[in-house]
């Protein structure tokens, strides 16, 4: 086996080539301190680009690692590489063929499909971080930046609803409504179409809060679960929601998914 200190690898792709480059980098670390020079050839769309790639690889005595998902381009590259005795590694072909056989259907063979998925993933992460930062009125400035603002008394599912919507890539801020605390003025200045008030049946809320107190090891007769206090809070919240002019959703016996569905339908 011949030993060399430097190896040139062309990473060819009909998309950005990031997947192929990541795999080659991971393999290259196993041969440190040998040098692997990676040259990415991205967005290959025709045979002309492959011809140029073959010429460059032959000139540099390089290996071609490729992630071509268009069958015609993949086959053309393999034929040309064999003709010029260039070593190739197909990172996608065998995997796609095996999956096609398992699913009993042909792959889409459409380049670049991973990038919208990546973009969606990072949007979700950003939205979740936003929901955590602006949860339960921790920072009222979130009202300005949010796609959706939730208001309501304690235990009306504001936080789980915020998280559910965040996984749909919506930035959500939620604001608790408590009679002793004046709501932020920002609630009356932003577009009320993005604000949703959550209300609930007093008896249902009484049961929810009583269970919450038990979980915390606190007495069930605390004012937090007192029916009269709950009615007072709900009345106060209703006054604020009416002043805002926002959509009000009764979450009594509604799952978080159901409430989210109503909100998403309203905001289009």
Tell whether residue 259 is among the known ligand binding residues. Answer: no
**155 labelled as ligand-binding?**
yes
Q: What is d(CA 55, CA 77) in angstroms, rounded to the nearest whole number?
A: 12
Residue 158 among known ligand-binding residues: yes
The answer to whether 153 is a known ligand-binding residue is: yes
- Residue whose structure tokens are 């670390």: 29
156 in a known ligand binding site:
yes
Please give the Cα distance from 30 to 32 (Å, whole number). 6
Asked if 27 contacts 92 with a C-beta cutoff of 8 angstroms, the reply is no
Q: Which helix (H) or strand (E) holds 100?
A: helix 93-103
Q: Beta partners for 76?
A: none
Question: Any known ligand binding at 154?
Answer: yes
Q: At CB < 8 A and 24+ separation, what contacts does 72-78 make?
A: 73/14, 73/44, 73/45, 73/46, 73/47, 76/47, 76/50, 77/12, 77/50, 77/53
The answer to whether 152 is a known ligand-binding residue is yes
What are the φ and ψ backbone dihedral angles of 242, each rounded to 5 degrees?
-65, -40
What's the sign of the alpha-carbon dihedral 188, 189, 192, 194? negative
Q: Which long-range contacts (CB under 8 A, 24 or more apart) does 221-225 make?
A: 224/154
Are 176 and 136 in contact, with CB atoms under 8 Å apart?
A: yes
Going by the annotation, the residues of the binding site are: 152-159
Residues annotated in a binding site for ADP:
152-159
């Amino acid at each position: 086996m011949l030993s060399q200190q430097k190896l040139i690898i062309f990473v060819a792709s009909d998309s950005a080539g990031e997947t192929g480059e990541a795999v080659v980098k991971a393999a290259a670390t196993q041969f440190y301190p040998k040098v692997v020079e990676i040259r990415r050839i991205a967005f290959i769309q025709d045979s002309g680009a492959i011809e140029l790639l073959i010429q460059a690889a032959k000139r540099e005595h390089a290996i071609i690692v490729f992630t071509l998902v268009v069958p015609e381009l993949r086959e053309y590259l393999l034929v040309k590489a064999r003709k010029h005795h260039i070593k190739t590694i197909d990172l996608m072909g065998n995997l796609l063929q095996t999956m096609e056989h398992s699913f009993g259907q042909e792959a889409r063979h459409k380049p670049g499909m991973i990038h919208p998925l990546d973009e969606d993933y990072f949007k979700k992460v950003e939205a979740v971080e936003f929901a955590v930062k602006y949860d339960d009125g921790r920072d009222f400035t979130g009202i300005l930046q949010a796609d959706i603002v939730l208001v309501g008394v304690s235990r009306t599912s504001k936080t789980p609803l915020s998280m559910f919507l965040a996984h749909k890539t919506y930035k959500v801020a939620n604001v608790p409504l408590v009679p002793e605390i004046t709501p932020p003025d920002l609630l009356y200045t932003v577009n009320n179409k993005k604000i949703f008030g959550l209300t609930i049946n007093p008896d249902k809320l009484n049961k929810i809060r009583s269970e919450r107190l038990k979980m915390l090891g606190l007495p069930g007769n605390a004012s937090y679960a007192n029916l009269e206090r709950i009615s007072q809070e709900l009345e106060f919240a209703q006054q604020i929601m009416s002043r805002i002019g926002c959509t009000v959703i009764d979450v009594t016996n509604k799952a978080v998914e159901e409430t989210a569905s109503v909100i998403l339908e309203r905001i289009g």
